[in-house]
Amino acid sequence: MKIGFIGMGIMGKPMAINLLKAGYEVMVNTRTKDKALEVIDKGAEYFESKQDLAREADVLLTMLPDGPDVEAVMLTGDGLASCMKKGSVFIDMSSINPEVSIKIARELEKRGVDMLDAPVSGGEPKAIDGTLSFMVGGKEEVFERCKDILLSMGSSATRCGMVGAGNTTKLSNQIVVAANIQAVAEALMLAKKAGVDPEVVYNAIKGGLAGSTVMDAKAPMMLSGNDKPGFKIDLHIKDLNNAIGCAHSVGAYIPMTAQVKEIMEWLRDNGHGGCDHSAIIKFYEHLMNTELKR
Residues taking part in catalysis: 170
Cα 113 to chain center, whole Å? Answer: 24
Strand partners, 232: 276
CB 25 within 8 A of CB 2: yes
For residues 90 and 116, give the distance between their C-alpha atoms in angstroms, rounded to a whole number. Answer: 6
For residues 237 and 182, give the distance between their C-alpha atoms in angstroms, rounded to a whole number. Answer: 13
CB 263 within 8 A of CB 280: yes
CB 145 within 8 A of CB 120: no
CB 202 within 8 A of CB 188: yes
Closest Cα partner for 245 from 92, 98, 94, 48? Answer: 98
Strand partners, 121: 133
CB 40 within 8 A of CB 17: no
For residues 102 and 289, give the distance between their C-alpha atoms in angstroms, rounded to a whole number. Answer: 46
> 66: buried, middle or exposed (CB in 10 Å: 19+, 13-18, 0-12)?
middle
